Amino acid sequence: MTNAVLITGTSSGIGRATALRLARRPELTVYATARRPEALSDLADAGARVLPLDVTDETSMVEAVEAVEAAHGSVGVLVNNAGYGAYGTVEETGLEGVRHQFETNVFGLARMTQLVLPGMRRAGGGRIVNVGSMGGRLVFPAGGYYHASKYAVEALSDALRVEAAPFGVKVSLIEPGLIRTAFGDTAAHTLAGSATPTGPYAALNTAAEQQMAQSYRSKALSAPPERVALAIEKAITAARPKARYVVTPAAKALIHTRRLLGARVFDAYVRMQFRAAA
């Protein structure tokens, strides 16, 4: 396994925090990527190498992987971080936006994985860290399509972990809870854009927007992106990395609550939280 770490989506949030954290480790060569590499000048100043990479563009993905392999022989660690949350009800959300979200959150992740695995197999090892979400283990209303993309990341990670193990490739899934990045603002913006102000889901959408705003402002329920970066570092450096790293106490509590309560009771709990829709 080489020391080359390729991270997708480092222009902000979790990706940026991860690149900064890993760049401080002298044994690692960190490749920070984004659609606009000029936005990564501070990461270059911190010691990361910068590459253009759009996970919805085949040529861009191939060229990024080839650049790392030309310098190191293979990608040692792939951190599939690029992703975003687009919110709206199942009925009202346009499927064109849903397809784009899946291109970024699921198919981009899958294609990057396909591109690095041959090199990892030749090198006799590697690590793949997929950034999922607690939203891949439970669902809130007005977020069905986003949650579906993260459920897909769960499934891909579980399959890949077994498939890649014989080749020395270890796979970990990071499941953050609410993280104080631009994610919440993006989700609220897409929710407002997808909703019909006087439509049948108007009350639900209003309640969902209020819940997001309150939750992301709460320091008890949310955490800074550096907390996720620490979990990613552990997944990369541990001799025996965990299959899953759940980030934030609130996320751990919600995941266990959903598992223990079952669908009927958890649905009742969610309806209480979104009572404005009743």
The pLDDT tens digits for 12-62 are 999 999 999 999 999 999 999 999 999 999 999 999 999 999 999 999 999
Please tell me the number of Cα atoms within 13 Å of 154 on its side-chain side: 16
Mean confidence (pLDDT) of the chain: 92
| Cα three-residue angle 26-35-231, rounded to 5 degrees | 45
User: Is the distance from CB of 106 to CB of 150 less than 8 angstroms?
Assistant: no
**pLDDT exceeding 90 applies to what percent of the chain?**
79
**pLDDT exceeding 70 applies to what percent of the chain?**
94
- The whole-angstrom separation of Cα 221 and Cα 215 is 6
Whole-prediction pTM: 0.93
Please confirm, yes or no, whether 146 is among the known catalytic residues.
Answer: yes
Query: Which tens digit of pLDDT belongs to each residue from 217-243?
Result: 888 889 999 999 999 999 999 999 999
The pLDDT value recorded for residue 273 is: 82
pLDDT band at residue 274 using 50, 70 and 90 as cut-offs: confident
CATH architecture type of domain 4-84+93-180+223-248? 3-Layer(aba) Sandwich (3.40)
User: Is the distance from CB of 72 to CB of 1 less than 8 angstroms?
Assistant: no
The pLDDT value recorded for residue 184 is: 59
48 or 184: whose pLDDT is higher? Answer: 48
Catalytic residue, chosen from 87, 146, 151, 245, is 146
**Integer angstrom CA distances of residue 95 from 87, 98, 99:** 12, 5, 6
